[in-house]
Structure 1
């Protein structure tokens, strides 16, 4: 019998740690190979970890709520077999959502990570994030693009205390230093004593997991991409009538799906809306497919799962896919694949009774479209004042990629399809794609 340690595997997407949400085993329990032993939350999603061993749990090394770095031990298992090897640190997520690969016996010549010296471990781990006053002569940990960003802006990167793992200086830390918007001192992950507040405190909520990742991403987006927002109020009376008829025939469809389909029908004529500014390569990347992000508010924070190749879907399949994806996200079951590689996002602020806003662009994308609430208002219709159903679209876009005039044309093209939904059928037919089913004549 031998004791084997299970180390937190690399969960992909550049993630360096995860928070333990729940243990499904306890010390003394027998675990079978591939049995789910724990749920962990990364900055992207909740992941179920299967056991790479068959044996008896002898120790749990991380309590619920703790943050564990990739490569750190999670639990120990006493196995009866002597040839079971420790999972390799390179274990990653496969293309099958939730499936971890790379477990099992190590190959004859496993790839090993270079071990740092004890002095390096002490300087980066024991003393916390590096600071300009540190006795260590090494420069702060960061990536070459981050160092270049600081150098180009004339910012001394040694004067920035990073908020990344082991004090690594992240892009958002440099952008914050450039903007001078806030103190760049790091927020400790474990607070030994609560600070003294001048006002009565109801409760303190740790900033972890998705909420911390979302905050970092939004700050980086706001300080990196020059945001501009344009608004268009649209008469959607005919779209509402079509939706009502479809629902009367049993279809589960709403205005969000109608606006999403209108966006997908016109975006091919506006390729910059479906693009990315790639600073490191010096290119503007235009995408051939649309991975439509659906901004979703969850108990864990805001996440943006996306529909791959959404341009291939007609109205009703699109509505069903949106409903499924939002449900999965709110239940905390969105996979890493659901959350990666989005190209443009839509956010349904109207579901909260909001008319318009200035949504922040999802990092790495060119634009985000906000859909406001449908209101019954007096409106100029055929040169007369009439009560009409209207909504406001709010388009935030990256001004490096998109000019105001181009954004305006994109908005008005979407608005034209919503004002006259019959155009959607004609446009889909011309494009050779799917089209919404025509309701039966009563």
Structure 2
């Protein structure tokens, strides 16, 4: 016929001709590395992989968490992305630190890579007050233990007229005797030098009763037994002074066991009722901290406190000869209402005498 022939319908555009949105390129990473990245808040698309084939390693994640990950380089020939609003960069540690210190990170200028905020930026902001506000001071409320210590020591210095006496004691005989004793003892039964000092102090307090007791009201009441207070420093700060009852009556090995257990209970908040027996005299030993001597504050209503410093090897004359000897400095803090210097001197002399005869302890 003479009619025109209708051609085939036009082909539909191929799917290949449509523009395709490429997903973000994520470098390969093992499941443990991905888990670490999630824990540290690190975006894997911003991390350069340094492993085989560009894989991200644990070191890459840890470095990105510390320093802020570098932006992933744009592929060559790819179309430039539309500009996005600038995002403040801050390392996870700096963000956590800002929260703890109450610093607003949005007000900070970063000094790290790409102006990222680092820990020192947060510290600097904490130390420098905002220029628009007047400097303010904050009062830190002492914890309850510190408040109790402050009240007791303030009362002591306000009410008790302290006097102090110091004596240097040669403990060569005591340390030699102790070394020989420990060499033949089981590990659990070995004695530390502090136990010798405690026992010598307890025996001296028994022999000089004017320093063993309590000042109550307007008079001194001597005690029938020596209940030895032991100052124990706590790991979290502060000090407790539990008691070893009847310390002068205990054999040295039992006193050593009591001391070890008492310190453990004090530092784990598990004191017994017997540990809180009112002490009649207190001993503090800071020798393990390296101090030469201790001038302590008396615990009221007690009337004396004995302080021992570190054992030091120093030149010392024995007769007409000079040698290097182990020496310890003992200091007595006394209450002048209950005793005087002569009484305190007799006490320190007694401590020295017992340490020269350690077998009697």
Tell me if TM exceeds 0.5: yes
TM bucket (normalised to shorter chain) is: 0.5 to 0.7
Is 1:288 the counterpart of 2:288? The answer is no
Whichever of the two has the greater Rg, that structure is 2
Partner of 1:410 in structure 2?
Answer: 347
The answer on 1:253 being equivalent to 2:191 is yes
TM-score, length basis structure 1? 0.48
1:300 Cα deviation after fit: 4.7
2:153 & 2:272 partners in 1: Cα distance? 21
More strand by share: 1
What's the TM-score, normalizing by structure 2?
A: 0.59
What are the Cα deviations for residues 44-65 of structure 1, in whole angstroms up to 9, with x where unaligned? Answer: xxxxxxxxxxxxxxxxxxxxxx
Is the Cα–Cα contact under 8 Å of residues 214 and 303 in structure 1 kept in the other structure?
no
Q: How does 1:24-423 map to 2 (within 5 A)?
A: 196-197=136-137, 206-249=141-184, 250=186, 251-279=189-217, 282-298=218-234, 299-335=236-272, 337-422=274-359
* Separation of aligned partners in 1, 2:220 and 2:337: 10
Tell me, in whole angstroms, the C-alpha distance in 2 between the residues paired with 1:271 and 1:369.
14
Higher RCO, 1 or 2 (CA under 8 Å, sep at least 6)?
A: 2
Superposed displacement of residue 419, structure 1:
2.6
Structure 1 position 319, deviation (Å): 1.0
Higher relative helix content = 2
Asked if the contact 1:257–1:319 (Cα under 8 Å) also holds between the matched residues in 2, the reply is: yes
* 1:346-385 deviation line (CA, Å, top 9, x unaligned): 0011121111021001121011101111111111012111
Paired residues of 1:374 and 1:389 also in contact (CA < 8 A): yes
- Coordinate RMSD, CA, aligned: 1.8
Structure 2 residues not aligned, in runs of 5+: 1-134
Q: 1:208 to 1:222 in 2, by over 3 A?
A: same
Unpaired runs of 5+ residues, structure 1, are 1-194, 426-435, 437-442
Report if aligned partners of 2:231, 2:241 keep a CA contact under 8 Å in 1: yes
How far apart are 1:294 and its partner, in Å? Answer: 0.4
Inter-CA distance 310–420: structure 2 relative to 1 (3 Å threshold): closer
